[in-house]
Amino acid sequence: MKMRLGWLRFLLVTLAFVGFRAYAQERVVISYSSVEAPNANWYIAHDRKMFQKYGVDVESIYIPSSSTVMNALIGGSVRAGNGSGGAIAAAAVAGANLVSVASFINTLPYELVVQESIKLPVDLKGKAIGIARIGSASDVAARVLLRGLGLEPDKDVAMVQSGSGAERVAAFRGGRIAGFPSPPGVIHLAKGIPHRVIITTAQLPKSLPFPYACLTTTKSYLVSNRETVRRILMALIEGTHFFKTRKEESKRLLAKYAKQTDEGFLEGSYVGNEPIYERVPLMTREGMEIQIKEALLRRPGFSLKFEDVVDESLVLQLQKEGFIEKLYKQ
């Protein structure tokens, strides 16, 4: 009897594996928008061959800034990518056919790093803040933090597109910008530069719900390739599990993809991001509705609702099937 049960388990596992392998057909191009820790589950899933495990043959590429990833999705050069709620809402208001199927981080853990000589908010007037790109998560964070200081972005303070966190630090070091929004850990790359943190999102009078790291695709691709998107989602959920449960290995992969060896950066990035990664990547409705409202200011009269840009049915399906619970019981 035990032998029969053993063979049955072996057969079921083999059939599942063959099913995943047999499913893989076309090569799917996917993209992550940052080499920093909030996107770690994307490159962990790639590096640890989790996409292949779930039967998807992917080409995983790095496209700096979620707003640029949205353009690649719209153009069809990328089938699934990481985007922030702000970038998704802005693209949708402009007419893009995009939909988010999962949100792995639902807050903005940022701080505004400025030159040491800047003591008061008024000292920032007439100066420039470095962001990744207009519409990116860093752009949203910078605007929220500046308003928290009583300053108006673009009017009181210029917003300059400066690239990734490390590139913003380089621009800061060179004096091209007076400050930059920093996610957890990045401030450690500013060693040797006189600086201070003038405000953090934690200091805002109200918590900041924000869909920060979202698996996004087009509505048409989701309809015609739902199973592919489901398998990509499974790999990213397992990548999240890896990040949350295997600290040192995750830090090594962060060092590899971010091309940074500073221990303060690696430790700060991990400690600051691990708790906010969602086990069940459902999106914050409040946070997305805030981004939709902000985006609609640019197109008066246009109608856009949460349900127009978010489809959580795949996450709910995997949750119901026990996929996520089984991962965390391993």
Residue 113 pLDDT exceeds 80: yes
Residues 87 and 186 in one domain: no
Residue 271 pLDDT exceeds 60: yes
Residues 187 and 213 in one domain: no
Q: Domain range for residue 163?
A: 111-203
Residues 90 and 6 in one domain: yes
Which three-class secondary structure string do you get for 78-108? CCEEEECHHHHHHHHHCCCCEEEEEEEEEEC
Higher pLDDT, 202 or 188: 188
Mean pLDDT of 178-188: 90
C-beta atoms surrounding 2 within 10 Å? 6
Higher pLDDT, 87 or 135: 87
Q: How many residues does the chain have?
A: 330
Residues 44 and 128 in one domain: no
Q: What is the mean pLDDT of the chain?
A: 91
Lookup: tokens for 19: 């099913």
Residues 197 and 219 in one domain: no
Give the β-pairing of 98-107 and 80-83: unpaired
DSSP 157: B
Number of domains in the chain: 2
Please report which helix (H) or strand (E) contains residue 128, including its range.
strand 128-131
pTM metric for this prediction: 0.84
* Residue tagged 């063979």 (tokens): 7
Residues 11 and 120 in one domain: no
Domain edge (last residue) among 169, 203, 237: 203
Domain edge (last residue) among 152, 169, 203: 203
Return the SS3 of 180.
strand
Q: Which residues contact 317 (CB under 8 A, 6 or more apart)?
A: 230
The CATH number assigned to the domain holding 139 equals: 3.40.190.10
Lowest model confidence (mean pLDDT) among 189-193, 214-218, 252-256, 310-314? 189-193
Residues 172 and 295 in one domain: no
Residues 95 and 216 in one domain: yes
Percent of the chain with pLDDT over 90: 79
Lookup: tokens for 137: 């998560």
Closest CA to 276 of 67, 31, 35, 37: 37
pLDDT of residue 96: 96
Which three-class secondary structure string do you get for 213-265? EEEEEEHHHHHHCHHHHHHHHHHHHHHHHHHHHCHHHHHHHHHHHHCCCCHHH
Residues 166 and 17 in one domain: no
Residue 15 pLDDT exceeds 50: no
Higher pLDDT, 254 or 204: 254
Domain edge (last residue) among 145, 172, 203: 203
Residues 220 and 81 in one domain: yes
Closest CA to 82 of 195, 233, 228: 233
Residues 230 and 119 in one domain: no
Q: Is 297 exposed, middle or buried (0-12, 13-18, 19+ CB in 10 A)?
A: exposed
Residues 32 and 120 in one domain: no
21-42: buried (b, 16+ CB within 10 Å) or exposed (e) per residue? eeebeeebbbbbbbbbbbbbbb
